[in-house]
Amino acid sequence: MATRPADENGLDLSTTEARAEVEKIKALFTLCPDDDGILPEWEQLVSRHDVKGKTTHDARLVAAMRRHGLTRLLTFNASHFARFTEITVLTPEGVLAGGG
């Protein structure tokens, strides 16, 4: 998403710029391990919410969140996660406006 062109809903960063941003993000947040327990969570979500196509990647992120006890997701693409009632979806605009 960071290196995807802006006209394709990306940030249009170079790989060097994206890598620098990733390093900043890693310094700010605790990283959770990618473990085998995510797969059963993902399978349940895909079945429960009838997830198909590209949105299976969104379901995988939600599965990892559930596996690690995370409940809130900050995203530019809130509509991609609206079906997942298991989490609270926040947007940067909403947070800046005081909405969580």
Q: What DSSP assignment string belongs to 55-86?
A: HHHHHHHHHHHHHTT--EEE-S-HHHHTT-TT
CA 84: distance to chain centroid?
Answer: 12
Is the pLDDT at 81 greater than 70? The verdict is yes
Average pLDDT (48-70) is 96
Segments making up each domain of the chain, as ranges:
1-31
The span from the CA of 24 to the CA of 57, in Å, is 23
Residue type, 37: G
The reported pLDDT for the residue numbered 100 is 62
